[in-house]
Amino acid sequence: MTRAEFEYLSTSEARYMIESHLGDDPLEMALAGIPAAVCTQVKLLDRCRTKLPDYYAARCIIPEVSFEQSSSQATGSSRRYSGRQVLDLTCGLGCDAYCLSRNFDRVVTVERDELLADTARYNFGLLGCDNIEVVCADSAEYVRTLTERFDVVYVDPARRDERRRMFLLQDCSPDVTAMAPRLAELADRIVIKASPLFDVEEPERILGAYGRVETETVSVDGECKEVVIELTPDVDGTCPSRYVTVISRGEIERYGFTSDELKAAKNSGCTMASKEDICGGGAVGSALRCPYEYLLLPDAAFVASRTVQAIAARIEGAALTSPAGVILSREPSPWRALRSYKITECMPFKPKVLKKALKERGIAGVTLIKRDFHMSVEEVRKRLGVRDGGDATMVLCGETVYLVGDCGV
């Protein structure tokens, strides 16, 4: 978005035109001679309905690149922090600052791009936020001369340049590993948003010198969206060091694991399923002799945060197929974040024999779910000669196939 486009989009004429065409096809609008900036805003506002519903309701001006890189309102609203004032060093579209403004008396947000800063300031006015101050400055330069302290410093470093995506904190902009000593002087709590592919065990090594490290892995409707790193003052080991936040259909469930719990689960706290447990030693087509009736599928956030073993250890009598696999249980899951399936059959993954077994059962369509499995879903479907969806649900894990029914739990 250019400066001229921003100034035009803030006029009453453009806002009326956008309002009149919401829900229309942007391509047809362009062919009808509607200004390109209006067509783009109609397209982006339509996408805001689910990702940024408050921005949609206020008819905010949406820069396309910033929209793609922005947090969703669902993840932004799940932040656990509150206090008197917070410093957000990476404003961008401003969603994080907007969500933080609900929990803090004052938000100072920094954006080095003047046009983005002006856009964020304009949008905060539309959103009715009078407690957010937008500062146009380079964040690294800004913190060097800052004298006041904050309850929280929040950073969402850019993880893309023109050529590639970046996953290491030191490669992102700004480099929070270089800024960490100064940030620790400005606030007791430092919060850093990282890629959903970020290794949750890495922050302790690179940031542990500046405080106690906590990580929070966040998923929305089964998809891992982000890893949040938090540096806090040293406390005893009874507080969780690793959190999992699962957002499903607008509801939030949060699970915390202490360092001791994670170590215990990794060493001996969770039973690993034997071959007899997994498929009862039975051949394809034989009656199930497995002692477990239910298969529990952990949310993607447990897998990304390496806490599958720890959550499995909390279920009495359960067994785990592998550290990143599925949980076998005699009871349905007590939590929504572990989806429960009733096991109807389980069998070794032998494509030719399995294909025959499915045909004998009249199963032509299968919903495939895989965990810790060596083959892609597309390849499995091709080898078994089944279409997507329809007659059955099959969970692929390790060397085993489970035919299951959804318990709705």
- Of the residues 236, 257, 278, the one at which a domain ends: 257
Does residue 58 fall inside a structural domain? no
- CA-closest candidate to residue 102, choices 122, 82, 124: 82
Does residue 93 fall inside a structural domain? yes
Residue 138 above 50 pLDDT? yes
Question: Residues 258-267: contacts with CB within 8 Å, 24+ apart?
Answer: 261/310, 261/313, 262/307, 262/310, 264/313, 265/309, 265/310, 265/312, 265/313, 266/309, 266/310, 266/323
The model's pLDDT over 237-281, given as tens digits with 9 standing for 90+, comes to 678 899 999 998 888 999 999 989 998 888 765 666 665 555 554
Q: What is the pTM of this model?
A: 0.85
One DSSP character per residue, 248-272 reads ETTEEEEEEE-HHHHHHIIIIISEE
The model's pLDDT over 150-181, given as tens digits with 9 standing for 90+, comes to 999 999 987 665 555 555 777 777 888 888 88
Does residue 105 fall inside a structural domain? yes
Instruction: Write out the residue range of the structural domain in which residue 13 sits.
Output: 3-51
Does residue 61 fall inside a structural domain? no
Rounded Cα–Cα distance for residues 84 and 131 (Å): 11
Gyration radius of the chain over CA positions? 25
Segment among 120-129, 217-226, 287-296 with least mean pLDDT: 287-296
Rounded Cα–Cα distance for residues 398 and 28 (Å): 50
**DSSP H stretches of helix in 131-219:** 139-145, 176-186, 202-207
- Of the residues 257, 284, 310, the one at which a domain ends: 257
Residue 408 above 70 pLDDT? no
Specify whether the CB–CB gap between 81 and 92 falls below 8 A: no
Query: Do 73 and 222 belong together in one domain?
Result: yes
- CATH code, domain with 358: 3.30.2130
Query: Do 311 and 355 belong together in one domain?
Result: yes
Does residue 60 fall inside a structural domain? no
Q: Among residues of the chain, what percentage have pLDDT more than 90?
A: 58
Ramachandran angles phi, psi of 38, nearest 5°: -70, -45
Q: How far is residue 1 from each of residues 9, 27, 59, 134, 288, measured CA to CA in Å?
A: 10, 18, 16, 19, 61
The model's pLDDT over 43-57, given as tens digits with 9 standing for 90+, comes to 999 999 999 999 999
Neighbours of 144 (CB within 10 A): 10
Rounded Cα–Cα distance for residues 354 and 383 (Å): 10
Q: What pLDDT is stored for residue 296 in this prediction?
A: 94
**DSSP H stretches of helix in 284-330:** 300-304, 308-313
Does residue 170 fall inside a structural domain? yes
Query: Do 211 and 287 belong together in one domain?
Result: no
Task: Tell me the three state secondary structure of residue 75.
Answer: helix
Does residue 263 fall inside a structural domain? no
Ramachandran angles phi, psi of 277, nearest 5°: -65, -40
The residues pairing with 392 across neighbouring beta strands, listed in sequence order, are 366
Q: What pLDDT is stored for residue 287 in this prediction?
A: 40
Geometric angle at alpha carbon 228, from 141 and 238, rounded to 5°: 115
Query: Do 113 and 240 belong together in one domain?
Result: yes
Rounded Cα–Cα distance for residues 101 and 79 (Å): 11
Average pLDDT for the chain: 88
Higher pLDDT, 289 or 187: 187
Provide mean pLDDT across the span 322-329.
88
Higher pLDDT, 355 or 282: 355
Count of the separate structural domains present in the chain: 3
